[in-house]
């Protein structure tokens, strides 16, 4: 398996949809775009786990206008290479950081662990793999996540949909620990914080799923064929509520927007 790109947990997330999507992510075609939510999460991570880097790379623009304004462009040119945040953006990041660090169990966990630990390994089934673990201690592995809602039921669904459980299982295989946790913080005020433990018996299942996805991807690389989410022709399943007439108007805006 020489000259193969390492498979990261973020690629596994796309592999849960299809091999086509996984290849597009690994090739850089999708999944690497900056969004406000992704940027906020990245900055919050940096502020909490890499405070020195955050202080060195991030500067505040407190002038008027938008990022298209002359003043902003001049400021950006004078701070080439820096991450430029508006005052309200910096305030939000700092508020998230402070909320996490004022949560005593979360702060104790963060202080006790190494941060942003890179791991790499080889597996006979899927070759090279890699990852970067947010928090790694002698007996614990943890990830820091921002979310809209950290209540247990809502966050569990969100975490599954985002591939967090597969991600943690991937990391746990590389760095076995007895306890795996998620530190979750809400991205909007008052930035509620929760710490969740993910049971090992479930992580075993998620790892097997992740490893199967990775192994299948290597098979696709060997053949050059990367199937999409729907490999064979199927009949659409029309649900009863679609036939009652009440939801017919719901799709008009989409039809008009599509010019149909």
Q: What is the pLDDT confidence band of residue 241, given thresholds at 50, 70 and 90?
A: confident
pLDDT at 3 over 70: yes
* Residue range 109-134: mean pLDDT, rounded: 97
How far, in Å, CA of 93 to CA of 46, rounded? Answer: 10
pLDDT of 98 reads 98
Taking alpha carbons only, the member of 121, 133, 114 closest to residue 182 is: 133
* pLDDT at residue 195 greater than cutoff 90: yes
Alpha helices in the chain (DSSP H): 9-15, 19-26, 36-49, 51-57, 70-78, 87-101, 104-112, 152-161, 164-174, 200-223, 252-257
Q: Is 228 left (phi over 0), alpha (psi -120 to 50) or beta?
A: beta
Confidence of residue 63 (pLDDT cuts 50, 70, 90): confident
Quick: pLDDT tens for 98-114. Answer: 999 999 999 999 999 99
């Amino acid at each position: 398996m020489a000259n193969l790109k390492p498979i990261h947990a973020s690629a596994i997330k796309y592999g849960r949809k299809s091999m086509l999507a996984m290849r597009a992510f690994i090739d850089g075609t999708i999944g690497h775009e900056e969004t406000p939510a992704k940027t906020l999460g990245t900055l919050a991570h940096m502020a909490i786990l890499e405070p020195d880097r955050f202080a060195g790379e991030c500067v505040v623009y407190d002038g008027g206008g938008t990022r298209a304004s002359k003043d902003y462009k001049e400021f950006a040119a004078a701070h080439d290479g820096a991450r430029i945040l508006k005052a309200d953006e910096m305030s939000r990041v700092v508020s998230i950081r402070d909320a996490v660090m004022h949560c005593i169990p979360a702060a104790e966990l963060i202080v006790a662990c190494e941060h942003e630990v890179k791991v790499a390994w080889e597996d006979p089934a899927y070759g090279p793999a890699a990852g970067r673990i947010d928090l790694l201690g002698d007996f614990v592995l943890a990830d820091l996540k921002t979310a809209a809602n950290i209540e247990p039921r809502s966050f569990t669904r969100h975490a599954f949909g985002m591939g967090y459980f597969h991600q943690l299982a991937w990391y746990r295989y590389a760095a076995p620990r007895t306890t795996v946790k998620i530190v979750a913080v809400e991205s909007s005020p008052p930035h509620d914080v929760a710490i969740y433990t993910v049971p090992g018996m479930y992580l075993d299942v998620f790892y097997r799923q992740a490893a199967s996805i990775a192994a299948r991807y290597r098979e696709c690389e060997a053949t050059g064929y990367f199937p999409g989410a729907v490999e064979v022709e199927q009949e659409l399943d029309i649900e009863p509520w679609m036939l009652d007439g009440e939801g017919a108007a719901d799709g008009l805006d989409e039809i008009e927007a599509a010019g149909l």
